[in-house]
C-alpha cells in the first residue's frame, strides 16, 4: 500500500528554477524592510509580478528576436510577449489592430511615470495607499484593471478584453528591471471611458 | 556539487541563524528546499496552486525564523509543517484536484509524455487512492502524505505538525487502513 501511494503521481518532477522564480521573487520582496507605504500607481507593478509565474531565462536579444509580439487566442484573450523595451508606439499600434485601445510606455530602470496621468476605473490607480501586502493583494484581486491584464510569465502578459468596457483605455507601463531573469516590471490600469491619458513624464522612482 | 546529508542538515540551522542578521541568506534555504516542496504541493494541489504554496510557506518561515529551534539541523520538518498549514487553507483546491483526477484520470502536472507506459494499470490503482485521499480528514491526510510523499519520518512529522508521536502513529494507522480498504475494494470490483 505504501509503495503504491509513494508511486502515485511520482512522475511529477521537482520544480525547476524557472518554475520557482516567481515564488523566489516574492520571498525576496518580502524580505525587504516592511511598512513601506505603497502608493496607488505602484500597486500593479508589485502585484503583477507577485501573481506572475516568473521564468528564469537569459535575455534573448540579438538578431531575429522581435522586440514584441501580439497574438490573439480563440478564447478572445490577447497574449503580448515583450522581449525588449523597444518601440512602444509600434506595440501600441499593434494592440490597436487587435482591438485594444492602449497607451504603452517603456521606462528606464528606476523611473516611473509622474502620477495622475489619467483617471483610473478603480482604486489601483491613484487610490488610497495600501500599507500591507495583504491589503494590497485584496485591493488588486477585486480590481478590473488587474483582471484585464495579467502577467503570465516574465515575458508575457495576457489581456482579457471582456474586462475592458467600451471607450476605456488600457494604460501599460513597462519598466526595465535590469535583471536578465525578470527583464521588466509592469504597471497596467484601465483609464475611464471618455477621459484622456496624458503622456508619461518619467520621474525618478524613489523606491 | 552534491552535499552530503549531514552537511545539508548542519547548514539549515546555521543558515537560519545567520539570516537573522543577513536576511538574504534565507534565499539559500529556499533554493535548497523549494524544488521538492513545490513538487509536494503540486502533487497535492496541482501546478497552479503550487507556486503560491511555496511562496506563502517561505514568507511565513522567513517571518518566523527567529522562533526556529536551532537544535534541529534539518529545516524540512519545520518547512513542511508550515506548508501543511498553508495547504490546509486551500483544502478546497486539494479536494477538487482529487475529484477531477477521479473523473478524468489526468493529474494536471503529469505531462502525457511522462506517463508511465502502463497508464491503465496505474489508473486502476491511482483512482481508488485519490478517492481514499479525498475521504480522509485533513489531519489524517497531512500525516499520511508527509510520510509517503514528503518522506518525513514519524518523528519529523511529529515535529512538523507539533503533535505527539503517538498521535502521528494513530492518524497514520487510520489513514493507511482507509487506503488499504479502498484498494481492496477496487481489486474485488475488477
Joined together, the cell numbers standing for residue B157 give 512529522
Residues in chain B within 8 Å Cβ distance of A13: 39, 114
Mean pLDDT across B49-62: 96
Residues in chain B within 8 Å Cβ distance of A11: 110, 114-116
Place of cell 491503465: B120
What pLDDT, in 10s, does the model give residues B118-172?
A: 555 677 888 999 999 999 999 999 999 999 999 999 999 999 999 999 999 999 9
Of the candidates B57, B53, B68, B51, which has an alpha carbon nearest to the alpha carbon of residue B15?
B68
What pLDDT, in 10s, does the model give residues A93-104?
A: 999 998 999 999
Using an 8 Å Cβ cutoff, are B29 and B16 in contact?
Answer: yes
Tell me: pLDDT of B1 over 50. no
Tell me: pLDDT of A21 over 60. yes
- Return the pLDDT at A55: 33
Radius of gyration of chain B (CA): 18
- Return the pLDDT at A54: 35
Residues in chain B within 8 Å Cβ distance of A152: none
What confidence category does residue A56 fall into, taking pLDDT thresholds of 50, 70 and 90?
very low
Tell me: pLDDT of A88 over 50. yes
Measured over the CA atoms of residue A173, residue A185, residue A154 and residue B94, the dihedral's sign is: negative
Q: What is the ipTM of this complex?
A: 0.87
What pLDDT, in 10s, does the model give residues B57-116?
A: 999 999 999 999 988 889 999 999 999 999 999 999 999 999 999 998 888 887 654 444
- Shortest distance between the Cα of A52 and any Cα of chain B, in A, equals 9
- Return the pLDDT at A183: 79
Please answer yes or no on whether A15 and B38 come within 8 Å at the CB atom.
yes
Cα–Cα distances in Å, from B40 out to A14, B24, B49, B153?
8, 25, 11, 16
Amino acid at each position: 500500500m505504501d509503495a503504491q501511494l509513494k508511486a502515485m503521481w511520482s512522475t511529477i518532477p521537482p520544480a525547476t528554477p524557472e518554475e520557482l522564480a516567481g515564488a523566489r521573487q516574492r520571498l525576496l520582496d518580502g524580505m525587504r524592510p516592511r511598512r513601506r507605504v505603497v502608493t496607488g500607481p505602484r500597486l500593479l507593478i508589485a502585484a503583477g509580478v507577485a501573481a506572475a509565474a516568473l521564468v528564469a531565462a537569459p535575455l534573448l536579444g540579438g538578431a531575429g528576436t522581435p522586440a514584441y509580439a501580439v497574438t490573439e487566442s480563440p478564447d478572445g484573450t490577447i497574449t503580448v510577449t515583450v522581449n525588449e523595451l523597444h518601440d512602444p508606439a509600434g506595440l501600441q499600434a499593434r494592440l490597436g489592430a487587435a482591438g485594444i485601445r492602449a497607451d504603452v510606455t517603456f521606462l528606464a530602470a528606476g523611473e516611473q511615470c509622474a502620477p495622475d496621468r489619467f483617471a483610473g476605473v478603480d482604486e489601483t490607480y491613484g487610490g488610497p495607499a495600501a500599507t500591507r501586502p495583504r491589503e494590497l493583494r485584496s485591493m488588486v484581486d477585486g480590481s478590473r484593471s488587474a483582471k484585464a491584464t495579467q502577467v503570465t510569465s516574465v515575458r508575457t502578459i495576457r489581456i482579457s478584453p471582456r474586462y475592458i468596457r467600451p471607450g476605456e483605455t488600457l494604460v501599460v507601463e513597462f519598466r526595465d528591471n535590469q535583471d536578465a531573469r525578470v527583464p521588466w516590471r509592469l504597471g497596467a490600469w484601465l483609464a475611464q471611458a471618455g477621459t484622456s491619458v496624458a503622456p508619461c513624464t518619467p520621474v525618478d522612482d524613489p523606491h | 556539487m552534491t552535499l552530503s546529508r549531514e552537511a545539508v542538515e548542519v547548514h539549515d540551522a546555521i543558515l537560519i541563524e545567520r539570516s537573522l542578521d543577513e536576511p538574504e541568506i534565507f534565499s539559500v534555504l529556499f533554493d535548497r528546499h523549494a524544488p521538492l516542496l513545490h513538487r509536494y504541493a503540486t502533487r497535492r494541489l496541482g501546478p497552479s496552486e503550487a507556486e503560491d504554496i511555496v511562496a506563502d510557506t517561505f514568507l511565513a518561515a522567513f517571518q518566523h525564523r527567529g522562533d526556529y529551534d536551532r537544535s534541529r539541523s534539518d529545516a524540512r520538518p519545520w518547512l513542511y509543517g508550515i506548508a501543511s498549514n498553508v495547504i490546509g487553507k486551500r483544502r478546497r483546491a486539494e479536494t477538487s484536484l482529487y475529484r477531477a483526477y477521479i473523473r478524468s484520470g489526468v493529474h494536471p502536472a503529469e505531462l502525457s509524455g511522462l506517463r508511465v507506459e502502463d497508464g491503465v494499470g496505474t489508473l486502476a490503482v491511482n483512482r481508488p487512492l485519490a478517492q481514499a485521499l479525498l475521504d480522509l480528514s485533513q489531519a489524517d491526510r497531512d500525516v499520511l502524505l508527509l510520510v509517503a510523499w514528503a518522506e518525513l519520518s514519524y518523528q519529523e512529522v511529529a515535529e512538523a505538525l507539533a503533535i505527539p508521536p503517538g498521535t502521528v502513529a494513530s492518524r497514520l494507522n487510520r489513514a493507511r487502513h482507509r487506503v488499504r480498504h479502498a484498494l481492496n475494494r477496487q481489486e474485488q470490483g475488477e
